[in-house]
Structure 1
């Protein structure tokens, strides 16, 4: 059996070295998405958390804040961070919790051990670092009450901080997940104007209680939460996301 990963059309993925055009920066993000993601990015640039080796954990910080947001909204946030996808299926399938299919499976290694050999899925023998599993930074869904399958994906966002570039085949794989290369957005942290974000949120704090329409108020509350201006959830921040097996 081939080790290559099938495309959404049932063929084979293009592999490393090919180029999939993606929209860079904020241009492909609607204003509410810009606000929420840039709020998290700016917060995590200023207070990223530091790993044992001294590295800034910017990506872990953004993922953690988006996970806390999803908990705050009872699992109904449209922003789904760090969802693993099985790239051997066409289209790629999200690996979700068996009891709540709107939430990612919490233990990838356990899922692989239990389900990878399912004969009905016709997967190749498991080998690490072959691109069989991909994990976008953020999947934005149309309906938070449904799993992030391809027909429910509005955008796939890859967030990059300074000195961090996409790996070979990464954006191409995300285009397979989204089903359309135009649904993949590469968002550089530098694209966010953090001074503007700070000023906008200062103004929002003054009027968020009763003066905004309900939908705008919700997004404003989300932005304020992402910037740490609302009380944190009980239990503190989630643990860092483990490395892919």
Structure 2
């Protein structure tokens, strides 16, 4: 029996005819979903606000996960908004030259400084998919760069009414090395009300990243640290 998520599954009917093949969408592991849902729930109720009053929920999630990575001294497996050079095969993460593992913080500056120095780069054209930035890359080993061999899953988060984008998903499959490692996660998949009722962590006082850091450490240490409650918001 093949229980790997995201793979085609079919079979034979009693009459000997082939049944239609069903496609199972890739899913997150429960612990990964809990952490990401916690960030989604927090940002759904407390989003970043732009100067013109827009709710920047995805930006909020990226900021919270970035703070989590800082608190865990870059040992969080959840890497937000890593930009990838799609002209490379496989696509290469654009990283900070100082740390070697952290995402580069200012991609326009990186393009201006480094793009034309690489003789393999074609002329840069904005908006043509030469650089892609998934919402979250979940890595296997947090101490290593988010290169294709270290990617567990690539996650694209969708807050309504943000529609799916086929070309974007195809590029994310190139980043991950397999379309079955690309997960589209919608905010409606998270039961934020239920998580809030179960949470006893004073997130308002601690901050989301500090409150959830213990939960992520429980995952990273494979249960050797005390298991805290994962807060929603």
Q: Same fold (TM over 0.5)?
A: yes
> Aligned ranges for residues 152-171 of structure 1 at < 5 Å?
152-171=150-169
Q: Distance in 2 between matches of 1:215 and 1:35?
A: 16
Q: Aligned partners of 2:171 and 2:229: how far apart in 1?
A: 29
1:10 is aligned to: none
Report the counterpart of residue 223 of structure 1 in structure 2. 230
Aligned to 1:169, the other structure's residue is in SS state helix
CA drift at 1:114: 1.5
Following superposition, the deviation at residue 117 of structure 1 comes to 1.5
Give the 3-state SS of the residue equivalent to 2:95 in structure 1: coil
> Mapping of 1:1-245 within 5 angstroms?
23=25, 28-120=27-119, 122-202=120-200, 215-216=222-223, 223-224=230-231, 227=232
Contact 1:86–1:132 (Cα < 8 Å) also in 2: yes
Q: Deviations over 1:172-193 (max 9, x none)?
A: 1000000000000000000111
- In structure 2, distance between residues paired with 1:36 and 1:43: 11
Distance verdict in 2 for CA 1:219–1:163, change over 3 Å: farther
Contact 1:159/1:189, CA 8 A, preserved across alignment: yes
Q: How many residues align?
A: 197
Higher relative contact order (CA 8 A, sep 6+): 1
Shift in CA distance, 129/63, structure 1 to aligned 2, threshold 3 Å: same
- Do the aligned partners of 2:50 and 2:56 also contact (CA within 8 Å) in 1? yes
Rate the CA distance shift 1:86–1:54 in 2: closer, same or farther, 3 A: same
CA offsets, 1:45-89, max 9 Å, x none? 111132222211101110110000000001110000000000000
Report the TM-score when normalising by structure 2: 0.77
Aligned-residue offset at 1:220 = 5.3
Distance in 2 between residues matched to 1:75 and 1:63, nearest whole Å: 14
Larger radius of gyration: 2
Secondary structure of 2:200's partner?
A: helix
In the TM superposition, residue 217 of structure 1 has moved relative to its aligned partner by: 7.8
CA distance in 1, matches of 2:171, 2:226: 30
List structure 1 runs of 4+ shifted beyond 3 angstroms.
Answer: 212-224
Structure 2: where are the runs of 5+ without partners? 1-22, 204-213
> Which whole-Å CA distance do the structure 2 matches of 1:34 and 1:198 have between them?
15
Contact preservation (8 Å) 1:116, 1:123: yes
Separation in 2, partners of 1:179, 1:62: 25
- The whole-number CA distance in structure 1 between the counterparts of 2:110 and 2:34 is 34
- Cα contact 1:22–1:186 (8 A) shared by 2: no
